[in-house]
Amino acid sequence: MQPSPYTIHLRPVFVVLALGCSTVFLIGPLAAAVLVAVFAPANVSTYLVPGMIGFVGVMTWAMSSSVQWVELNDGVLRARVGSSGEQSSFTGSATSSP
């Protein structure tokens, strides 16, 4: 039986940090856009709401363009980058210096 490839489990601190960043950068501006659209005068909300929605769009693209997973198997390092599913691999020796 082959040994399983190396796996990394996220620490709870990083999971909470990721959820916090998602809330701050995605849900927060959308909620603020709704509040501005409902309560602000039309001459203010006309400029702010599209800007907030554009900010959320840019942040969603940036967050989804990150590395989704990394695998090291028999000296080959593979990664899946972004929501496009593009896979890249690197073959070589990995050395660490003290």
Whether 24 is in a domain gets the answer: yes
**Domain of 17, in residue numbers:** 12-91
25 domain residue, yes or no: yes
Q: Does residue 85 belong to any structural domain of this protein?
A: yes
Count of domains forming the chain: 1
Whether residue 83 lies inside any domain: the answer is yes
| 97 found inside a domain | no
Residue 5 lies in a domain: no
Helices (H), the chain: 12-22, 28-39, 42-64
What's the predicted TM-score (pTM) here?
A: 0.60
- For residues 65 and 83, is the Cβ–Cβ distance under 8 A? yes
Provide the edge-to-edge strand list for the sheet that holds 86-91: 67-73, 76-81, 86-91
pLDDT by position in tens, the chain (length 98): 566 665 666 678 877 888 898 888 899 999 999 999 999 999 999 999 999 999 999 988 887 777 666 777 777 777 776 655 555 655 555 454 44
Predicted pLDDT at 55: 93
